[in-house]
Structure 1
Amino acid sequence: MKCVSKYSLMALLLITATVCRAGEIPVKKGPVNGIFYQPWQADLSLTRTDWERRMAGLRQDGLDTLYLQWLRHGEIDFLNARLKTGQPFIQVLLDAADSQGIGIYMGLFSDPGFFDALNLTTRELDGYLLKLREKNLQLAKEFQARYGGHPAFRGWYLPEEIDDLNWQSAPRRKILEYHMHHQGDALKSLGCEKPVAFSTFFSGALTPEEFAQFCRQLLEGSDHFLLVQDGLGGRMDIATTRRYHASLRRIVGKQDRLCWIVELFDDELPGPAFSGKAIEPLQLNQRLAIVHKEFKGKRLVLFSLRYWLDKKDRLSQHYRRRFQNPVREEPAKPTHDH
């Protein structure tokens, strides 16, 4: 069943305007198409103009997809939140994105205690995942009823990040596969079939080959697509990341549903505590150099918007100069000693 709403007419009316904008401000595509955004309560102080400016900047970067990591984070409800100006946050975000031809994957419920729950017994974890699915579905229903027909709504994102340590046993993998597949079926039952994305990361608990087999198993039996974090923000070294990337390319057959996340941060704190700092432009060059040409475009995603726009859009500006409009250096003229 197709979704038909007031937004269908809006989409038609905006087509001409969008094409005109594209003609007036040609955008050169770089290797990356998408970026993650984690909303925090402080972001509600931003205005519609702020978001329109941000989306225009992303468009100039050649990005056309934004992954909203969550609609609800613990008790913080962004679906029903309002900006300080009184406007609905999600409405403003969707409208600003659509004005630039950017689509949004909507993240659902993010439980801050998710990784603590992985210490439960397999039976207890199964019950926990059931409750998590119920919260996700309820949140999706609320979003669908209000914004399901919005032209900027591109798909769903499941916020639970799958690691390589806590799902190694056969019983745990079985409940994980059911959890992921069942959510996809439940979201389709809402009436609008949209793609479903989720992410995973490696810490060295599995070898590159074992991790790639795990990812292939996660994709089997569903039409989800998987975003793999590069691990470099969490102190993984480049040589190791290259090995994981190579194994994923070789072993995961469903290449069109396997994507790569380039982390734009470094963790400044030792141990489990986290404090992210935006990487330097040279590090961005190094992290993008890892990625095989097959992963360019829609299969390459940045994490995250907060670091991308850090320090006067430093990474964004560097990306435009280095990857969208590369300047070819002239060879040095020979000099003659006298």
Structure 2
Amino acid sequence: MTYKKITGTFIDEITVDIPSQNWGPEEWAREFDTFVELGMDTVVLIRAGCGERLACPSKAVSDRVATLPVYVDLVRLFLDLCEARGLGFHFGLYDSNHFWYRHDWRTEVEINKGFIAEMWERYGDSPAFKGWYLPHETTDSSLRILDINTALAEEVKNLTGLPVLISPYYMGRQDIAGSLRPRTPEEHLRVWEEIFARYEGLVDACAFQDATTDLLRLEEYTKATVEAARGRGIAMWSNAETFDRDMPIRFPPTDWRKLAHRLDTVQPYVEKIITFESPHFMSPNSMWPSARALYRRYQELIADRTR
């Protein structure tokens, strides 16, 4: 079996719980060169807008939600950087961070439908535009997520025919389960059999966030996910989280040994590995000195595994 390295990364520039690195075009160009150096072929903008913040101008959103000024069209910048380097770009939709949390899923979908049409008209001619990402992440079917994601997947499929990616999380740790107990792999299997049945024909790839389980149980959850998706035509990817959930601050780069364990564990079960996210947590250009060290340790790991 050929060892699978990380061949894609999210970009989180409309940051929610990680700091902005305040990069401009020069810094972003250098980072995209780093993607190529790492052997990546896929870039996923995790969201093109969140609440009042947008990565590009959008009348569809600003007509419905009060938004901050957009000083740089990051979507155009990222598409151009991808095109120049032969990278494929997945466009993450708009997350209101408001309506769907209040069970107003219809408004969330309505805003995004206008946003999708606007974005496709503006950027759809870019040869780097290869797919879509649905940013409304949950661990189950709560908050009408199946209605939101199936409606949005249908919209982008009907308009563009391009593939759709999701990256949900396991409810496999106490800090994620909150007052509930973590869900067992068997319970995860039952929940996701129902979800994948709804996503069949709409979602093309699913990359579970791999650090949302106990390190020692990742293989069990991965196997359960593969079983739940069997026969649904949904490719199994893995989202190798390069940040650490176990530290008292949110969030530093992960310990390289944790990353190595998770990469080793998912090898037999997934078709592709992407990460959240290289620019902050595993880059020689990062604001975090330890991210620069993780970049070197990761290169050493891959050299060892592929020799």
Aligned to 2:68: none
Whole-Å Cα distance in 1 between the matches of residues 262 and 112 of structure 2?
33
Q: CA deviation at 1:110?
A: 1.7
Is contact 1:52–1:97 with CA below 8 Å preserved after alignment? no
User: 5, 9, 12: which is aligned to 1:38?
Assistant: 12
Matches within 5 A, 1:261-280: 261-267=239-245, 275-280=250-255
User: 256, 261, 265: which is aligned to 1:290?
Assistant: 265
Whole-Å Cα distance in 2 between the matches of residues 278 and 206 of structure 1?
26
Aligned to 1:182: 151
Aligned to 2:65: none
Whole-Å Cα distance in 2 between the matches of residues 44 and 285 of structure 1?
26
Aligned to 2:56: 79
Q: Identity of counterpart residues, as a percentage?
A: 22
Is contact 1:268–1:275 with CA below 8 Å preserved after alignment? no
Aligned to 1:89: 74
Does residue 1:109 correspond to 2:85, yes or no? no
Does residue 1:315 correspond to 2:294, yes or no? yes
Matches within 5 A, 1:138-177: 138-164=114-140, 167=142, 175-177=144-146
Assess, with a 3 A threshold, how the Cα gap between structure 1 residues 231 and 30 changes in structure 2: closer, same or farther: closer
Whole-Å Cα distance in 2 between the matches of residues 255 and 285 of structure 1?
28
Does residue 1:210 correspond to 2:182, yes or no? no
User: 27, 30, 33: which is aligned to 1:56?
Assistant: 33
Whole-Å Cα distance in 1 between the matches of residues 234 and 201 of structure 2?
13
Is contact 2:237–2:273 with CA below 8 Å preserved after alignment? yes
Is contact 1:29–1:61 with CA below 8 Å preserved after alignment? no
Is contact 1:61–1:319 with CA below 8 Å preserved after alignment? no
Aligned to 2:162: 194
Give the aligned residue type for 2:83.
Answer: D
Alignment gaps of 5+ in structure 2: 59-70, 173-181
Question: What's the CA shift string for 1:161-193, capped at 9, x where partnerless?
Answer: 0224x63xxxx7xx5433322212212333x21
Give the aligned residue type for 2:215.
Answer: I
Give the aligned residue type for 1:207.
Answer: T
Q: CA deviation at 1:45?
A: 4.2
| TM-score for both structures, normalised by structure 1 | 0.71
Is contact 1:213–1:252 with CA below 8 Å preserved after alignment? no
Q: How many corresponding residue pairs?
A: 272
Give the aligned residue type for 2:237.
Answer: C
Q: CA deviation at 1:32?
A: 2.0
- Cα RMSD of the aligned pairs, angstroms, is 2.8
| TM-score for both structures, normalised by structure 2 | 0.78
Whole-Å Cα distance in 2 between the matches of residues 324 and 104 of structure 1?
27
Does residue 1:303 correspond to 2:288, yes or no? no
Whole-Å Cα distance in 1 between the matches of residues 294 and 146 of structure 2?
37
Alignment gaps of 5+ in structure 1: 1-27, 329-338
Secondary structure of the residue that 1:197 maps to in structure 2? Answer: strand
Is contact 1:213–1:251 with CA below 8 Å preserved after alignment? yes
Aligned to 2:211: 231
Give the aligned residue type for 1:32.
Answer: I
User: 247, 255, 258: which is aligned to 2:236?
Assistant: 258
Aligned to 1:131: 107
Q: CA deviation at 1:48?
A: 2.3
Question: What's the CA shift string for 1:98-143, capped at 9, x where partnerless?
Answer: 211111111111233478x2xx5xxxx2xx1111111211221221
Is contact 2:14–2:49 with CA below 8 Å preserved after alignment? no
Assess, with a 3 A threshold, how the Cα gap between structure 1 residues 238 and 265 changes in structure 2: closer, same or farther: same
Aligned to 1:15: none
Aligned to 2:83: 98
Secondary structure of the residue that 1:67 maps to in structure 2? Answer: strand
Secondary structure of the residue that 2:85 maps to in structure 1? Answer: coil
